[in-house]
Amino acid sequence: MREKLEQIKSEALSMLARIDTQKELEEMRVKYLGKKGELTAVLKQMGKLSAEERPVIGQLANEVRQTLEKVIDESAAKIERAMLEARLESEAIDVTVPGKRLEEGKRHPMYTVLDEIEEIFVGMGFEILEGPEIELAEYNFTKLNTEEGHPARDWTDTFYIKDDSSILLRTQTSPMQVHAMETKQLPIRVVAPGRVYRKDEVDATHSPMFHQIEGLVIDKNITMADLKGTLNTIVRRLYGENTVTRFRPHHFPFTEPSCEMDVQCHECGGKGCRVCKGEGWIELLGAGMVHPRVLEMSGIDPDVYSGWAFGMGLERLAMRRYEISDLRLIFENDERFLKQF
């Protein structure tokens, strides 16, 4: 029995030297010290020993048990330390490694201009409206006093969706005037930005899709002076306090009288240059007093109410603002272009 105990001890110790995981260590604890373990098996046979031998072997068995327990505990502590170190090593963060650069996106210059315009109008008490790009011809034309047979309704200019010319891609944001008049309570103060579509070939100043912003005010006693005052204020906020403007008579079916608003060329101060093509002035928008028939068709009494409206192209505005020479740059979304703003 003595030999058996010595054998267990030396076997266990040499085995322990090769163990480096908690699982193996636990298996070995069970194998030697567990209830069905080898040491217990030896102790169970103590009864067979003589009275003299029993205490001697008992003491030896105890020594072996204590030695193994101690060594196993030490080993457990060592393994735990090693695991902790490995974890610290693998999870360590090197704060000196350079970070990954995040590519920052940029707001498109045209939307920057639109944001500014919207902010100015909202500050003046206007509401921002959005409406359908697929529109009834009735709203895009008829209710804007552009009757059937009018050249603007021609198939060569407009993307019609139905063969009977009743549904189309809106050619202007002006139908939003009709939507506003039909759905809003009076008085009305709205601006409506959005995409519009025309059968234009792409070149430096044309695109079959572009953006406009429409404005509409309807109230009692609204006059052309209100139109001029408001538009002048907007333009001076956009282009600076010293901006000079002029209003030229024009024709639109849905306004009477109608006008176009020009700003004096910022480049040459009105003398004429490359930017204004020698004119000294740059055309900015179309506007006018809402035609009484347009009011009437949307159920507003033109003897009580009057109003003004305007529409302007957003691409053009952004191009002038940032001195962009080609409309195509606005739509291509080339990063090298967008990054400049």
**DSSP-assigned beta bridge partners for residue 289:** 308
259 versus 276: smaller Cβ distance to ligand DAH:
259
Spatial CA neighbour of 286 closest among 144, 163, 156, 105: 144
Q: Determine if the peptide bond prior to 175 is cis (ω within 30°).
A: no
Our CB check for ligand DAH shows the closer of 139 and 310 to be 310
Which segment (4-12, 183-191, 282-290, 315-323) binds ligand DAH by CB under 6 A?
Answer: 282-290
Size of the site for ligand DAH (CB under 6 A): 11
174 lines the binding site for ligand DAH (CB under 6 A) = yes
Among 75, 172, 207, 298, binds ligand DAH (CB under 6 A): 172
Q: Which is nearer to ligand DAH, 211 or 266 (CB)?
A: 211
The DSSP secondary-structure symbol of 188 reads E
Provide Rg for the chain, Cα atoms. 44
- Does position 307 bind ligand DAH by CB under 6 A? no
Contact positions with ligand DAH (CB under 6 A) in 309-338: 309-311
DSSP line for 114-159:
HHHHHHHHHHTT-EE----SEEEHHHHTGGGT--TT-GGG-TTTS-
Cα–Cα dist 230/313, whole Å: 18
> Which residue has tokens 């196993």?
72
Residue with tokens 């291509």: 332
Q: How far is the CB of 219 from ligand DAH (least distance, A)?
A: 16
Write the single-letter amino acid at 119: E
135 binding ligand DAH? (CB under 6 A): no
> Does residue 158 bind ligand DAH (CB under 6 A)?
no
Distance between CA atoms of residues 281 and 287, nearest Å:
17
The stretch among 12-20, 134-142, 239-247, 308-316 that binds ligand DAH (CB under 6 A) is 308-316
- Least distance CB 252 / ligand DAH (angstroms): 4
Residue 120 CB, shortest distance to ligand DAH, in Å, is: 17
Cβ-Cβ contacts under 8 Å for 256 (sequence gap 6 or more): 288, 289, 291, 292
**Spatial CA neighbour of 74 closest among 15, 16, 8:** 16
Single out the residue of 135, 214, 262, 315 in contact with ligand DAH (rule: CB under 6 A): 214
252 lies in the site for ligand DAH, by CB under 6 A: yes
Instruction: Write down the least CB distance from residue 100 to ligand DAH, Å.
Output: 47
Which of the stretches 2-10, 62-70, 127-135, 285-293 binds ligand DAH when contact is defined by CB under 6 A?
285-293
* Cis peptide preceding 257, ω within 30 of 0: yes
Q: Closer to ligand DAH by CB, 281 or 310: give it.
A: 310
| Interface positions with ligand DAH (CB under 6 A) | 172, 174, 214, 252, 255, 286-288, 309-311
